Structure 1
Amino acid sequence: MGNCARDGEENSNENEPTVSNSNVPEQMKLLLLGAGDSGKSTILRQIRILHVQDFSHDELLDFRGPIHINILEGMRALVEASHQFEIVLDDYLQPHIEKIETEELTADVISSLKILWKDEKIQQVFKRANEFQIHDSTQYFFENLERITSDDYVPTHEDIFRARIKTTGIVEVPFEYEGVKFILFDVGGQRNERKKWIHCFQNVNVMIFCASLSEYDQMLYEDHRQNRMYESLMLFGELCNSRWFVNSMIILFLNKKDIFEKKIQTRDLKMCFPEYDGGCDYDNATAFITEKFKELNKRPDKKDIYVKFTCATDRDAFQKIFDEVKVLMLKESRDI
């Protein structure tokens, strides 16, 4: 995830005027929605740092445990996938595989993780990461394993942006901009969490929907038969046309553009959309996906979909994107 922005590409809507504070409500309710693993929680952490307050030293330390668990889960996923792909791991790895069946990173476990990650067959499995369930940041964490497993390790912003922590329930983040109070609600994206969303739906000024561009060749964690891109499209279509959001502004974050830009070079979008004929071109592919989402809007004459391409782990680029979004929200609020 990280915003490797090209000039002008994040602006899908031209002629966006500056904002006057007249007729802007004193408080705006924002709802952050999307399927699981779309990057919503990372976006929420970014917004908190930008507009509320940075994470304290103790709060950063709270991420150590989840990050260590992400590392262990990543390696266990690789070992399990080796069986799925019938890649037989060498016998000498077996003691190391047994050691990672834990939740604690001892010196022995760390040593075993390093040996496993360097193994040629494990790397063969990792090259097929799109074919099984593994977190996007697995490579990043293993490349930083020495630092992350040190005794005095304090997670950096990039570390916490990349940490995978499943959102359960509802998280509320208030912040202020241009004299207007915003309240941003984030809710769990997995299917079993969505039933809790309904309690947040009343009087929403802005619905921000987050979808991962790079998920077109991946399946859901909770349903290995369902393609993630199709799940996001289905969910967006339901929400975009819901009675709850008739008067709400809709912003679509197409996230993980950095991963997508690399993936599209070798993984044709046609595997997800047979009708796609744009080849391995990033601009063609993003335009096609954008249209797939926008065509789900049943009231295009009355409601615009504002699209932004994001990489939520890139702090500077995300700040630029969100500055534009705030102006859009204040401008649109005059008509809500």
Structure 2
Amino acid sequence: MISFFNNYERYFSEEFELTLDDVLISKNSYDSGVEKFNIKIDGIKLNIINVTKPIMNGKWLNVFDNVNLIIYCASLTDYNRQSKQIRNKNRLVETIEIFRSICGLECLKTIPITLFLGQKQSFYRKLEKNKLSKFLKGFRSDGDNKRALGFIKKKFLTEAKKVSADRKIFDFIIEDNSLDEISDLFRIISNLIKQEVKRK
């Protein structure tokens, strides 16, 4: 993640070519579990903590001391994939369960959460060959992409409300991770943090 923010303009360039350093940095970032870094957007300094392995027996909870906002990112295209940790477990279902567990933690109950559901266009393309009803119980509107998207979004929000009815959740759909879109999203995050700081 640190490497991404340091190199995001290069990554989105039409001339981008993957290097060995990119691969090694990506692997090290994933293996480390928790990263901390700073970025500046519109004059606002953001201290970002990236938890790449949320299932760490609670060892990561202390990194959230004094945070103003939790950002939870999930890929819509995971609906037909298997969990890397649990055999025969749907990866998106697992992601929803982790989101629910985070929302239910007493120590985080006053911290608002921003939910990013990513890769919308890739998700729509994938639905053409992999029907959502085959992988997620309760969905019966195959062929209607908007209903499919709404179904997944509702799953996240409903599960969160079960464990924290008053939880403040800001949800956003990410088209396909373009540079402009990512920049806009971080400006939104910056504004949300400003609002939370003023509220406190």
TM-score of the two chains, using structure 2 as the length reference: 0.80
List gaps (5 residues or longer) in structure 1.
1-40, 70-159
- RMSD value, Cα: 3.1
TM-score of the two chains, using structure 1 as the length reference: 0.50
The answer to whether structure 1 residue 181 and structure 2 residue 45 are counterparts is yes
- Give yes or no for contact 2:29–2:35 (8 Å, CA) kept in 1: no
Identity %: 21
The answer to whether structure 1 residue 202 and structure 2 residue 65 are counterparts is yes
List gaps (5 residues or longer) in structure 2.
none
- Give yes or no for contact 2:75–2:117 (8 Å, CA) kept in 1: yes
Range with bigger deviation, 291-300 or 235-244: 291-300
- Give yes or no for contact 1:213–1:254 (8 Å, CA) kept in 2: yes
Partner of 2:106: 243
User: What is the number of equivalent residue pairs in this alignment?
Assistant: 193
State how far apart, in whole Å, the 1-side matches of 2:139 and 2:114 are. 24
State how far apart, in whole Å, the 2-side matches of 1:222 and 1:242 are. 22
**1:223 shift after superposition:** 2.6
Partner of 1:309: 173
Partner of 1:335: 199
Partner of 2:91: 228
Report the structure number with the largest CA radius of gyration.
1
Partner of 2:20: 65
State how far apart, in whole Å, the 2-side matches of 1:262 and 1:168 are. 31
Letter in 2 for 1:299: S
**1:311 shift after superposition:** 4.9
Any residues of structure 2 matched to 1:1-336 within 5 Å, and which? 41=1, 45-48=3-6, 64-65=19-20, 167-169=30-32, 170-189=34-53, 191=55, 193=56, 195-296=58-159, 297=161, 298-300=163-165, 302-311=166-175, 313-336=177-200
State how far apart, in whole Å, the 2-side matches of 1:294 and 1:270 are. 19
Partner of 1:38: none
- Give 3-state SS (helix, strand or coil) of 1:224's partner: coil
Range with bigger deviation, 307-316 or 200-209: 307-316
Higher RCO (CA < 8 A, seq sep 6+): 1
State how far apart, in whole Å, the 1-side matches of 2:128 and 2:28 are. 29
Range with bigger deviation, 262-271 or 195-204: 195-204
Report the CA distance shift for 1:179/1:319 in structure 2 as closer, same or farther (over 3 A).
closer
> What are the superposed Cα offsets for residues 117-147 of structure 1, whole Å, 9 maximum, x if unpaired?
xxxxxxxxxxxxxxxxxxxxxxxxxxxxxxx
- Give yes or no for contact 1:214–1:259 (8 Å, CA) kept in 2: yes
